Amino acid sequence: MNHDIDVKKMRINCFRQSKVPGEFMLQMRAPGGMVDAKYLSSIEHISKTWGDGNFHFGTRQTFDIPGIKYENIDAVNEYIENYITEVDEELCDVDMDKVAGEPQEWDVKSGYPTIGARNITACVGNYHCICGNMNTYELARKIEPIIFPSHYHIKINISGCPNDCNKAHMCDFGIIGTAKMEYHPERCIACGACVRNCEHGATRVLSLNEDTGRVEKDPCCCVGCGECVRACPAGAWTRSEKKLYKIIIGGRTGRQTPRAGKMFLNWASEDVVLNVLRNWQKFSAWVMDYKPEYLHGGHLIDRAGYKKFKEIILDGVELNPECLVAEDIFWHETEYRSNFNVKPLSMHHTAGPQGE
């Protein structure tokens, strides 16, 4: 086989190189992992017409269609115009004529303009789940226009509750839906069901005070999951109407130093989440000296140092009164090679503008 293909350009276009020379796998964005089921027939059409007839669930909840031959990519791109327009432009209100906020006209026949900011994944959330505290795909659709299209890389995972089925702890920027729980002692029958549920399924912060017949809580450590609400037969626990979020940063998998993310914000409002994300691009650009490269967000935070990250990412963000911010973060990584970070100074990475 003799091919002359710019695979990097293909990748930016969301066509991933196959081990079979000349073949590619298309990855179609589905923000929050939720789209109208009617698109399944488009997926089938692409797969049967240009792919190898199979379909794979992308690990980032993209529709993945393998086995697309290079020469068919133009036809596929033309066909997915409709999907991109309907899902990204119309459903998520994405401005397709900008990249990272800068004007850049989108050629509608050319497929996805960038791969940098990855598809936002989400568990099904309270659209369906009895544990969920919020609608995950609606939040994803609000975030999509903030991060896409952009060459700056970010992986965002959303979980509807602290059960974190969607692994907010294992990505650059994890969002977990919570609520503050309100106790209505006048409705409490002192049955202890909430205490037991919190103990078995959450943080063991509740106890029944036998002298007062009331439930007491150690509020510092409540994760805001709502297991107490679910357990209560009398409606004596309710979720506050205001949706609040935990933001978990710096989680990653990978060949070097995988690690679970750590909590950056607790009890953040939706506005705070969105405003923080509006600063992500600025932060990434600063760390990489304005040259986007493929790096996990966690590595960017490592290079800048958490305190610098905090400074840039919170710039101009007005925190809601409940919101707590990590003063510092102490990571715990798996170092496949011990003392991985100890190396000649010349091998150290840089962060921030390097001058000429």
**Binding site residues, ligand SF4, CB under 6 A:** 123-125, 129, 131-132, 159-161, 163-166, 181, 188-194, 197-198, 202-203, 205-206, 215, 217, 222-228, 231-234, 236-237
What is the DSSP pairing of strand 244-249 with strand 173-178? antiparallel
Secondary structure of 295-335 in HEC code, one letter for each residue: CCHHHHHHHHCHHHHHHHHCCCCCCCCCCEECCCCCCCECC
Q: Among residue numbers 122 through 141, which ones bind another protein (CB under 8 A)?
A: 126, 130, 132-135
Can you say how many angstroms the Cα of residue 142 is from the centroid of all Cα atoms in its chain? 12
Distance CA 270, CA 342 (A): 40
CB burial of residue 274 (10 Å; 0-12, 13-18, 19+)? middle
What is the DSSP pairing of strand 237-239 with strand 181-183? antiparallel
58 φ, ψ to 5°? -60, 145
Q: Among residue numbers 198 through 257, which ones bind another protein (CB under 8 A)?
A: 211-213, 226, 229-236, 238-239, 241
Nearest approach, Cβ of residue 188 and another protein (Å): 7
Q: Which residue number, 125 or 297, has a Cβ lying nearer to another protein?
A: 125
What own/partner pairs with CB < 8 Å and gap ≥ 24 does 19-22 have? Answer: 20/67, 22/69, 22/70
Nearest approach, Cβ of residue 319 and ligand SF4 (Å): 21
Nearest approach, Cβ of residue 32 and ligand SF4 (Å): 12
Q: Which residue number, 129 or 260, has a Cβ lying nearer to another protein?
A: 129
Nearest approach, Cβ of residue 194 and another protein (Å): 10
Q: Among residue numbers 163 through 192, which ones bind another protein (CB under 8 A)?
A: 179, 185-191
Q: Which residue number, 158 or 313, has a Cβ lying nearer to ligand SF4?
A: 158
Residues that bind another protein (CB under 8 A): 126, 130, 132-135, 179, 185-191, 193, 211-213, 226, 229-236, 238-239, 241
